[in-house]
């Protein structure tokens, strides 16, 4: 997932300072060893990377999740309905599933991040390596690349032969809160995060720019689950994603509605509201034998 990449790229921007620091200040004292930065064994580098990615992503998830929850989600829901009450059972289920999934997804992500540390990616540090023009267009390339791949991955996860086994846990949350942002089956979440990892092996991107891009994406992922849409033309906002959770068969895009419109899976949230905000049942969409 995007939030995992944020922490990993913080390490890249620091030129692996975080990995070296955890190794020398945490693992070395625990194991009574003294390891030079250039001589960190692969198993130890992998363990440290997992540690950083997991606990860093947990911090980001809880920090931005609670901010969105209290200052945007609750305020918006109480404005619409002063008697609104959160279903605490669902809320804690979202939090638990996200916490557990990030634990496992961090392990899945670690090998690719170790390859980045070892210099096998196209992440670069000097603007002059590719110039200012490429730096400026990089965020657009990143969004198009990841939005395209995630659309088709997400669409595939809704195939009736796959949905029950991987994507159904996330769709158990119909009326989502910001804490549902990472409440996935770990394999589901990892698959939707692959484009962010794959990008750095396919196209060059400045380390700091990638960090900023992933941070924005992480916050965006939380936002599209808080039911507060910004109504930006062409952008797949919280309103679109709520329709997705209600109908199962529309609005598969991550940031834009481009591919949904191309392949006929787009459903306008305002039109949906005017039609009565209807909901589809899982068994009607997939068939009981596939659930």
pLDDT tens-digit readout, 238-256: 888 888 988 888 999 999 9
Looking at per-residue pLDDT, the higher value among 247 and 289 belongs to 247
> Is 90 exceeded by the pLDDT of residue 132?
yes
Which pLDDT tens digit goes with each residue over 79-100? 776 777 788 898 999 999 999 9
Taking a C-beta distance cutoff of 8 angstroms, is the pair 23, 40 a contact?
A: yes
Contacts (Cβ under 8 Å, ≥6 apart) of 88? none
The closest of 210, 190, 212, 188 to 201, measured between CA atoms, is 210
What pLDDT, on a 0 to 100 scale, did the predictor assign at position 144?
95
| Per-residue model confidence (pLDDT) at position 71 | 85
Q: Please say whether the beta carbons of 234 and 256 come within 8 A.
A: yes
Residue 121 in contact with residue 5, Cβ under 8 Å?
Answer: no
The pLDDT of residue 176 is 82
Backbone angles phi, psi at 282, to 5 degrees: -55, -45
Better-scored residue on pLDDT, 271 or 100: 100
pLDDT at 198: 94
For residues 150 and 140, the answer to whether their CB atoms sit within 8 Å is: no
Distance CA 45, CA 184 (A): 27
Provide the mean pLDDT of the chain.
87
pTM assigned to the model? 0.88
Round to whole Å and give the CA distance between 274 and 103: 41
For residues 213-226, average pLDDT: 79
pLDDT at 3 over 70: no
Closest among 236, 61, 222, 207 to 143, alpha carbons compared: 236
């Amino acid at each position: 997932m995007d939030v995992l990449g944020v922490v990993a790229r913080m390490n890249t921007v620091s030129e692996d300072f975080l990995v070296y620091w955890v190794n020398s200040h945490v693992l070395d004292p625990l194991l009574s060893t003294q390891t030079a930065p250039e001589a960190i064994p692969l198993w130890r580098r992998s363990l440290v990377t997992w540690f950083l990615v997991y606990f860093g992503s947990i911090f980001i998830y809880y920090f931005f999740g609670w901010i969105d929850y209290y200052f945007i989600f609750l305020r918006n829901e109480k404005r619409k309905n002063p008697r609104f009450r959160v279903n605490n059972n669902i809320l804690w289920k979202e939090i638990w599933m996200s916490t557990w999934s990030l634990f496992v997804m961090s392990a899945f992500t670690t090998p690719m991040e170790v390859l980045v540390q070892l210099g096998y990616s196209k992440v670069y540090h000097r603007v002059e390596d590719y110039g200012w023009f490429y730096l400026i267009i990089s965020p657009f390339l990143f969004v198009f690349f990841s939005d395209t791949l995630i659309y088709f991955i997400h669409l595939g996860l809704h195939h009736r032969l796959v949905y029950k086994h991987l994507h159904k846990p996330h769709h158990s949350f119909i009326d989502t809160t910001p804490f549902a942002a990472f409440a996935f089956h770990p394999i589901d979440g990892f698959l939707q995060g692959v484009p962010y990892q794959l990008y750095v092996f396919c196209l060059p991107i400045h380390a700091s720019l990638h960090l900023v891009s992933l941070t924005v994406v992480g916050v965006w992922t939380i936002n599209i689950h808080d039911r507060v849409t910004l109504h930006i033309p062409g952008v797949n906002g919280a309103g679109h994603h709520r329709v997705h959770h209600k109908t199962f068969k529309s609005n598969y895009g991550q940031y834009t509605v481009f591919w949904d419109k191309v392949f006929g899976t787009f459903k306008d949230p305002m039109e949906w509201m005017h039609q009565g905000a209807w909901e589809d049942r899982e068994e009607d969409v997939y068939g009981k034998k596939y659930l």
